[in-house]
Chain A
């Protein structure tokens, strides 16, 4: 029986999995279920499969099964210990040529972007970057459902749905936090298929001499539960000191709009939006941020949005659950005090 394979690249570095991998397994499962009927009628199987490259990473393959992979192709070799473009893309291309997946999803992380463009070109297929919605849908003239990959265009003003009609696999990259991760099931069953590696160290073409500054980049705003973000309304870099106090009180991290980053008030790692990070926290506080489309596309999936802005017409209020029309320099100190007070009464 032939199979329709939905592939997810499981991204790991130095043994640490990027959570976007699990998010992609979740959406891949949902895509697979959308073709289940069609496949059954054609007597085909539908599989969600992970591809995992690295060194001594078998335990990650097992985890991927818990997140929904029916099967994981594992390439475990010293040549794959550190991510490098050439060995990774050549090995994935070999794997895809062997198994002919229908869909391949890769996280739109720095690593994933480096990889995806190379894999797609080598396979001579189409790749849609930074998708925010994926579904399998009927397209006129196509025998089977195709991947409908939707992404914002023109700074979020328009949503464009892209299809890849004849080339396979249909590839998409997806940013972290666009989809939520499925629930981990320790009982889930699946198989791990070990595959041999094509490339030797001599053919790897790049040698990583050292890793620098690992600690400095450690602001992980994508996966924080609470983000307190500031915009030009902060008036200058010192405004972020106040935000930091609120973030500390809430156990969260500080985010920023692009002009603050461009002006050097805070580092790029904090930027939220189209050219920054996509976030999906439980609580997002937007202080002194007007709510331009390019900012909103990065944060509108937060569960609960609190906006503080002096301008009652600010577009940020269109996405806020609670909009406080007021001066952030008056509102935030009171908020900090109130949070501390409530925490004390709770314990």
Chain B
């Protein structure tokens, strides 16, 4: 039987983020919380393979109690078990401390019910760091394949997986041993519609909550602010760039506007680049 683990994070839906025109700050109130989109695709891939290989999917998430809604959503999409790791002392974690907690949880699950493949998102859209997946893989000593766009085969007998990953230059077809960890692009799988049985199951499902009290022990030196190597030292607003000159084609003419533009380009010393004469 195939056992997949998916790490999911709840994030503010940044596509709907508003910016306060007065202060230039992010308006957090009323911004809906969603499952990190890459994690949703990672989950979809895990569920797809669970159906093919007759297996099960465990999801984990670290965050405040409000994250249970995202875990329920994962159950709607086909996850069998959901664990929320939640404790005030975990707060303020950077990626080093986050990867520690997630790795400890995965190790504990792996011990009682061996995991074949871990699915992570390529990155969380709130921080865009893409560091947690590689960090967890190192801590688990699992091989990692980042930027996965397709899973060709999972061979449980020979304990191998063949994955397509996308880099800037090409697509690589990589074979690696199981257990392994993938970080997933959206192409890895389409998000399916939830099935009725899964919807009903999710309604009644209560995620397990793991805290510092148990069921597993965490080293207090590795969690939260104390376990973090980095701190935010300062916050500031970005410097405002100087605006240039504007010309309105309604007040002048298109031809004049272009002429003006090219004259400015010449003054700035970039006209040659535009006319192909300084290459």
A residues at B contact (CB < 8 Å): 13, 85-86, 89, 109-111, 113-118, 120-122, 124-130, 139, 148, 152-167, 205-214, 217-218, 225-226, 250-251, 274-275, 282-283, 293, 300, 303-306, 312, 317-327, 330-331, 334-335, 338-339, 342-343, 346
Instruction: Collect the chain A residues with CB atoms within 8 Å of residue B143's CB.
Output: 85-86, 205-206
Residue of B nearest to A14 (CB): B169
List 4 other contacts, CB 8 Å, given A118-B138, A163-B230. Answer: A128-B230, A159-B237, A161-B236, A312-B248
Instruction: Collect the chain A residues with CB atoms within 8 Å of residue B137's CB.
Output: 85, 118
**Listed A/B pairs (11) with beta-carbon separation below 8 Å:** A116-B134, A157-B26, A161-B232, A164-B229, A166-B229, A282-B273, A293-B19, A321-B244, A321-B268, A326-B254, A331-B249
B244 & A305 in contact (Cβ 8 Å cutoff): yes
For residue B190, give the distance in angstroms from its CB to the closest CB of chain A.
15
Instruction: Collect the chain A residues with CB atoms within 8 Å of residue B162's CB.
Output: 209
A127 & B131 in contact (Cβ 8 Å cutoff): yes
- In the bound complex, what is the Cα–Cα distance between A320 and B250 (angstroms)? 19
Which of B167, B262, B274, B279 has the most CB atoms of chain A within a 10 A radius of its CB? B274
- In the bound complex, what is the Cα–Cα distance between A336 and B176 (angstroms)? 51
Contact with A along B123-153 (1 / 0, CB 8 A): 0010111111111011100011111000000
Instruction: Collect the chain B residues with CB atoms within 8 Å of residue A324's CB.
Output: 246-247, 249, 257-258, 261
Name the contact of B95 in the complex, choosing from A127, A211, A330 (C-beta under 8 A).
A127
B53 contacts chain A at the CB level, 8 A cutoff:
no
Instruction: Collect the chain B residues with CB atoms within 8 Å of residue A300's CB.
Output: 241
A125 & B261 in contact (Cβ 8 Å cutoff): no
Instruction: Collect the chain B residues with CB atoms within 8 Å of residue A139's CB.
Output: 233
- In the bound complex, what is the Cα–Cα distance between A124 and B133 (angstroms)? 15
Name the contact of B147 in the complex, choosing from A114, A306, A317, A338 (C-beta under 8 A).
A114
B275 & A335 in contact (Cβ 8 Å cutoff): no
Instruction: Collect the chain B residues with CB atoms within 8 Å of residue A167's CB.
Output: 229
From known contacts A111-B167, A120-B135, A212-B170, infer whether A251 and B244 are also in contact, taking CB-CB under 8 Å.
no
B88 contacts chain A at the CB level, 8 A cutoff:
no
B264 contacts chain A at the CB level, 8 A cutoff:
yes
B231 & A342 in contact (Cβ 8 Å cutoff): no
B interface: dominant SS:
mixed
A339 & B275 in contact (Cβ 8 Å cutoff): yes
Residue of B nearest to A215 (CB): B170
From known contacts A161-B234, A213-B170, A217-B168, infer whether A121 and B265 are also in contact, taking CB-CB under 8 Å.
no
Within B167-186, the residues touching A (CB, 8 Å) are 167-177
B39 contacts chain A at the CB level, 8 A cutoff:
no
- In the bound complex, what is the Cα–Cα distance between A130 and B241 (angstroms)? 20
- In the bound complex, what is the Cα–Cα distance between A159 and B25 (angstroms)? 11
For residue A57, give the distance in angstroms from its CB to the closest CB of chain B.
17
For residue A173, give the distance in angstroms from its CB to the closest CB of chain B.
9
B26 & A163 in contact (Cβ 8 Å cutoff): no
B231 & A165 in contact (Cβ 8 Å cutoff): yes
A217 & B96 in contact (Cβ 8 Å cutoff): no
A226 & B257 in contact (Cβ 8 Å cutoff): no
Name the contact of B128 in the complex, choosing from A110, A206, A207, A274 (C-beta under 8 A).
A274
Residue of A nearest to B277 (CB): A346
Q: Which 6 A-B pairs have the closest CB atoms?
A: A126-B229, A117-B134, A326-B249, A126-B230, A117-B131, A121-B135
B147 & A343 in contact (Cβ 8 Å cutoff): no
B248 & A326 in contact (Cβ 8 Å cutoff): yes
Instruction: Collect the chain B residues with CB atoms within 8 Å of residue A122's CB.
Output: 138
For residue B98, give the distance in angstroms from its CB to the closest CB of chain A.
10
Name the contact of A283 in the complex, choosing from B24, B167, B259, B274 (C-beta under 8 A).
B274
B17 contacts chain A at the CB level, 8 A cutoff:
yes
B276 contacts chain A at the CB level, 8 A cutoff:
yes
Instruction: Collect the chain A residues with CB atoms within 8 Å of residue B236's CB.
Output: 158-159, 161
- In the bound complex, what is the Cα–Cα distance between A164 and B257 (angstroms)? 50
Instruction: Collect the chain B residues with CB atoms within 8 Å of residue A130's CB.
Output: 128-129
- In the bound complex, what is the Cα–Cα distance between A118 and B146 (angstroms)? 11
A117 & B168 in contact (Cβ 8 Å cutoff): no
- In the bound complex, what is the Cα–Cα distance between A10 and B276 (angstroms)? 31
- In the bound complex, what is the Cα–Cα distance between A331 and B259 (angstroms)? 11
Name the contact of B258 in the complex, choosing from A86, A305, A317, A334 (C-beta under 8 A).
A334
Instruction: Collect the chain B residues with CB atoms within 8 Å of residue A120's CB.
Output: 95-96, 131, 135, 229
From known contacts A212-B170, A217-B169, infer whether A129 and B247 are also in contact, taking CB-CB under 8 Å.
no
Residue of A nearest to B166 (CB): A110
B134 & A225 in contact (Cβ 8 Å cutoff): no
B249 & A327 in contact (Cβ 8 Å cutoff): yes
B25 & A157 in contact (Cβ 8 Å cutoff): yes
Instruction: Collect the chain A residues with CB atoms within 8 Å of residue B138's CB.
Output: 89, 117-118, 121-122
Instruction: Collect the chain B residues with CB atoms within 8 Å of residue A109's CB.
Output: 168
B177 & A225 in contact (Cβ 8 Å cutoff): no
B243 & A319 in contact (Cβ 8 Å cutoff): yes
Instruction: Collect the chain A residues with CB atoms within 8 Å of residue B133's CB.
Output: 117
B24 & A157 in contact (Cβ 8 Å cutoff): yes
A322 & B17 in contact (Cβ 8 Å cutoff): no
A209 & B173 in contact (Cβ 8 Å cutoff): yes
From known contacts A167-B229, A293-B19, infer whether A121 and B249 are also in contact, taking CB-CB under 8 Å.
no
A207 & B174 in contact (Cβ 8 Å cutoff): yes
A325 & B247 in contact (Cβ 8 Å cutoff): yes
B243 & A214 in contact (Cβ 8 Å cutoff): no
B17 & A155 in contact (Cβ 8 Å cutoff): yes
Instruction: Collect the chain A residues with CB atoms within 8 Å of residue B99's CB.
Output: 121
A320 & B146 in contact (Cβ 8 Å cutoff): no
Instruction: Collect the chain B residues with CB atoms within 8 Å of residue A210's CB.
Output: 172-173
Instruction: Collect the chain A residues with CB atoms within 8 Å of residue B26's CB.
Output: 154-155, 157-158
A113 & B146 in contact (Cβ 8 Å cutoff): yes
Instruction: Collect the chain B residues with CB atoms within 8 Å of residue A205's CB.
Output: 143, 176-177
